[in-house]
Amino acid sequence: MIPTLVALPLFAAFFVSLLETLRVKEKNIRVVFLAGIFSPWAIFIHTATKIPLSEIVGNHVKEAGIQVSLDIYNFYFILAELILFSIVAVYSVGYFKQRAKNGKIYALLLLMHAGLLGAFISRDLFNYYIYMEVASVSSFALVALSDEKGAKKAAYKYLAFSLVASYLFIFAIGIIYLKTGYLNVELIRSKITVSREINVALAVAFSALILKSGIFPLHFWLPDAHSKAPNPISALLSGIVVKAPIYGMLLLYLALPIRKSLLNILTLIAFSSMLIGVIFAILQKNAKRLLAYHTVSQMGYVLLGISTLNPIGTIYYAFAHTLFKGGLFLSVGTLINSQKTKDLERLTYRHDKILMISIIMLSLAIGGISPFVGAFGKKLLLSNLSGVQLYLFYIAGIGTLVSFTKLNYYLMKPEESIKSNLTQRMLSFTIAVLTLAFGVYFGLTMSYKDLLIILAAILTFWLLQRVGFFSMAPKKHFGESMKEAGKEVNIYMIVFSLFLLILLLQNF
């Protein structure tokens, strides 16, 4: 039953491509597309009542078959994927309506849907790798579909670095297979003998997955790819696609013992990503780049759960991030779509109460304010922190709120009223309500500490504005033309090589 979660969107992708080739009317293609997006819900609801659930595809023995599961480690990844994809699919139908040959876009979205669901149900490293690649290839193509200047270069960089990460990850899987004889996570765990080769494989695999998830200092492809993609694609990329590499890290955590030295480096990387990402976000004047840099910061939080041996914290924060980041990209994207600008100084939601409420709610959710769902994930992550780590965590949290205070400060400016699409506004509002509903479901209540944190963020924002911090702009080292793509990729490849070397050296 579990594999049908993947099979249904795959069949739909095939039929959408077939109908597109046969030049069937667009409305019929749209019906098949939506059926492919929504049909996994029936399987998920049916199987979720029986978790933990595990199957071997084809009823082979575990040593020879492919294991898929539905349990605490992937339940919220799959739930987040289904919620975000369902909302984005409805949003996309209107958004892409004016484009010619939108059947290709629907087919790519269905392949991404199938790839992500396949990766999240996997308990086999090679099967996980295959499905993650299916989702990645669809993502490159969807970024390249954007008409925005620089989108082709952004897609090229995304493709180049993702391919490098894929080659290294499959190399690491090969080492694990040679040393254990298995690809199944449970079998690897039962047969593992710690050795230098296994530690090298872990270092290579984590380097590859950190690159794929856009965590600092390997984030160089992410701000361009996520900010230049079409709005619904940005929501998917930042909301759920970057969670597939995180799930891979969880599989490694479940399969192999991770050395303390590697965990310490991962913790350092996590805090660096949380803080550097938020600083770059604060300095942005492009609304989508601000949100994209916040993905760099927020993925640091998700990595922190793994590096501090707190997988439950990672799972719940990844779930929360999928909702509020997907919602923010859809809400801000709706404003951008109607006002034809990404410039914060020209955007406004003053005339649009639905989007104003949505963006304020989502800003509180990403800031970790109760009773929104982000607070629950942060509470779990905090349980394994102590000393200076606690201070760094709170500093990053206040920095996030400062950045979203800036976003809302600019959006509140009175500007000319421009009507935006009602369906898109209501879908954005739906996600905002979900961030509150899940927070209440997890037992969150309002707290006076949250009020103090909000006041600290507003005061910090006011001080930074007074000293002219927001007028600073990060220097651009590369242009947006394809001519500079090779040079940029080469330089960042050196950065990645040094990063990989550092992780490898901790084994000696």
| 496 is a domain residue | no
Stretch 381-407: mean pLDDT, rounded? 93
Asked if residue 386 has pLDDT above 90, the reply is: no
What is the dihedral sign for C-alpha 333, 161, 201, 207? negative
> pTM for this structure?
0.94
pLDDT band of 100, cuts 50, 70, 90: low
- Give the C-alpha separation, 71 to 238, whole Å: 24
pLDDT digits (tens, 9 = 90+) for 136-172: 999 999 999 888 888 889 999 999 999 999 999 999 9
| 499 is a domain residue | no
Stretch 306-335: mean pLDDT, rounded? 95
Which residues fall within 8 angstroms of residue 150, CB to CB, at 6 or more apart?
A: 224, 228, 480
Stretch 362-371: mean pLDDT, rounded? 95
Three state DSSP letters for 384-417: CCCCHHHHHHHHHHHHHHHHHHHHHHHHCCCCCC
For residue 435, the model assigns a pLDDT of 97
| 347 is a domain residue | yes
| 15 is a domain residue | no
How many domains does the chain contain in total? 1
| 457 is a domain residue | yes
Token couple for 102: 């939108």
| 285 is a domain residue | yes
H or E, element range at 432: helix 422-441
- The range of the structural domain enclosing residue 403 comes to 263-474
Contact 286, 224 (CB under 8 A): no
| pLDDT more than 90, % of the chain | 74
pLDDT digits (tens, 9 = 90+) for 82-97: 999 999 999 999 888 7
* Beta-sheet strands, E only, within 257-377: none
For residue 183, the model assigns a pLDDT of 92
- Give the C-alpha separation, 423 to 91, whole Å: 7
Cis peptide before 414 (omega within 30 of 0): no
What is the SS3 assignment for 102? Answer: helix
Cβ burial of 417 (10 Å; 0-12, 13-18, 19+) is exposed
Cis peptide before 217 (omega within 30 of 0): yes
Contact 431, 374 (CB under 8 A): no
What is the SS3 assignment for 56? Answer: strand
| 425 is a domain residue | yes
* Lowest-pLDDT range of 73-77, 268-272, 413-417, 437-441: 413-417
Contact 55, 67 (CB under 8 A): yes
| 431 is a domain residue | yes
When mean pLDDT is compared over 1-10, 379-388, 430-439, the highest value belongs to 430-439
Stretch 3-30: mean pLDDT, rounded? 91
For residue 438, the model assigns a pLDDT of 96
Token couple for 287: 């609304």
